[in-house]
């Protein structure tokens, strides 16, 4: 598979003193590939997604790096040129469906706005496209949804609508930022099934962002693990889930509830210093909490090492 997206050595800050919240991040997504990006709150997952879609807040500052989409550095594109990509070729689903929809506009009109911006079709054809898209993602009464306001439909329906808005112009690449947050387990499963189906049918590449490794496992071919703005491990799904090497990845996997552990306490780390990010020090970000730390962890950042085919880890122990 050819590369569709490639992030190269991206560093980014939100502060005046240039404390980076992303540190030399490298990530790639191939044509038709489903990539998972997992990490806890504050690790930089959403920031990376917003960087790719160029929706960062005005206070952000890119300290270095490049983002290539179809071999074009999107960070150097004009706003007009990138707007032609966004919606047509790159799209995003946000994590809060209720607040992502305008409460004063009917749902159908909000989706029509996207179509008329990106596709040259008449209003009747646009409405038919909306209704058929609603039906394809499991909305049972498309006409009712089309004429409804946000408060008249459920959270799960809102999330399906956001998916419709993101995929209706058949983008090549979709960023799904925590699309199952605050939804019950049944709806989560349905959303994942929809995204898997759309990716397969449209050969659409997917970057799925989540703090939940179990959900990432259900949708991804390849997984990146991020901690305090650093990619600490990445590889094929089976390597990360069954042969992970980084201590942080191991803690994420051990925290997944399992039937055989029913009644037992979950294995979680006691990281009381989580807000003390130490971003400016270019050292191993997990050093304070690692059960296997050595002296080198407090002196420099470990290099990324390929320990087997398509399995990389950033840890001195390997």
What confidence score (pLDDT) does residue 15 get?
79
State the pLDDT confidence band at 277, using cuts at 50, 70 and 90.
very low
Q: Is the pLDDT of residue 297 over 70?
A: yes
State the pLDDT confidence band at 272, using cuts at 50, 70 and 90.
very low
What confidence score (pLDDT) does residue 97 get?
74
What domains lie within the chain, and their CATH numbers? 3-313 (3.40.50.300)
Lowest-pLDDT range of 94-98, 164-168, 290-294:
94-98
Q: What is the mean pLDDT of residues 209-225?
A: 94
Are 97 and 155 contacting, i.e. CB atoms less than 8 angstroms apart?
A: yes
Q: Is the pLDDT of residue 39 over 70?
A: yes
Q: Is the pLDDT of residue 51 over 70?
A: yes
State the pLDDT confidence band at 274, using cuts at 50, 70 and 90.
very low
What confidence score (pLDDT) does residue 17 get?
67
DSSP string, 93-153: E-S-HHHHS-TTS-HHHHHHHHHHHH----HHHHHHHHHHHHHHTT-S-HHHHHT--GGGS
Angstrom distances, CA of residue 53 to CA of 57, 151, 243, 276, 281 = 12, 28, 32, 28, 28
The tens digit of pLDDT for each residue in 71-90 reads 999 999 998 889 888 878 99
The tens digit of pLDDT for each residue in 239-260 reads 999 999 999 999 999 887 766 6
Phi, psi dihedrals of residue 309, rounded to the nearest 5°: -55, 120
Q: What is the mean pLDDT of residues 286-311?
A: 90
Q: Is the pLDDT of residue 112 over 60?
A: yes
Phi, psi dihedrals of residue 135, rounded to the nearest 5°: -65, -35
Lowest-pLDDT range of 167-181, 210-224, 251-265:
251-265
State the pLDDT confidence band at 9, using cuts at 50, 70 and 90.
very high
Q: What is the mean pLDDT of residues 25-47?
A: 95
Q: Is the pLDDT of residue 179 over 90?
A: no
Phi, psi dihedrals of residue 111, rounded to the nearest 5°: -75, -35
Percent with pLDDT over 90 in the chain:
56
What confidence score (pLDDT) does residue 273 get?
46
Q: Is the pLDDT of residue 182 over 80?
A: no
State the pLDDT confidence band at 28, using cuts at 50, 70 and 90.
very high
| CA count, 13 A, side-chain hemisphere, 50 | 19
């Amino acid at each position: 598979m050819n590369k569709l997206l490639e992030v190269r050595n991206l560093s980014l800050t939100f502060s005046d003193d240039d404390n980076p919240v992303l540190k030399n991040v490298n990530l790639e997504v191939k044509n038709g590939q489903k990539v998972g990006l997992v990490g806890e709150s504050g690790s930089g997952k959403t920031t990376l997604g917003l960087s790719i879609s160029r929706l960062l807040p005005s206070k952000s500052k890119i300290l270095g790096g490049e983002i290539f989409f179809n071999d074009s550095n999107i960070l150097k594109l004009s706003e007009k040129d990138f707007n032609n990509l966004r919606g047509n070729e790159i799209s995003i689903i946000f994590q809060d469906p209720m607040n992502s929809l305008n409460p004063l506009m009917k749902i159908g009109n909000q989706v029509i706005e996207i179509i008329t911006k990106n596709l040259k079709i008449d209003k009747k054809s646009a409405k038919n496209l909306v209704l058929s898209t609603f039906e394809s993602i499991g909305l049972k009464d498309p006409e009712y949804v089309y004429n409804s306001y946000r408060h008249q439909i459920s959270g799960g329906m809102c999330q399906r609508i956001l998916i419709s808005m993101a995929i209706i112009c058949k983008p090549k690449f979709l960023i799904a930022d925590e699309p199952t947050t605050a939804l019950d387990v049944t709806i989560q499963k349905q959303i994942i099934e929809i995204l898997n189906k759309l990716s397969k049918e449209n050969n659409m590449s997917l970057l799925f962002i989540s703090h939940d490794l179990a959900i990432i496992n259900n949708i991804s071919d390849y997984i990146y693990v991020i901690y305090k703005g650093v990619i600490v491990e990445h590889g094929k799904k089976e390597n990360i889930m069954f042969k992970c090497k980084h201590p942080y990845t191991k803690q994420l996997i051990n925290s997944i509830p399992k039937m055989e552990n029913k009644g037992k306490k979950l294995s979680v780390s006691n990281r009381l210093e989580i807000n003390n990010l130490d971003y400016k020090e270019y050292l191993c970000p997990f050093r304070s909490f690692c059960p296997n730390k050595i002296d080198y962890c407090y002196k420099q950042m470990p290099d990324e090492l390929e320990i087997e085919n398509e399995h990389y880890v950033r840890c001195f122990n390997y």
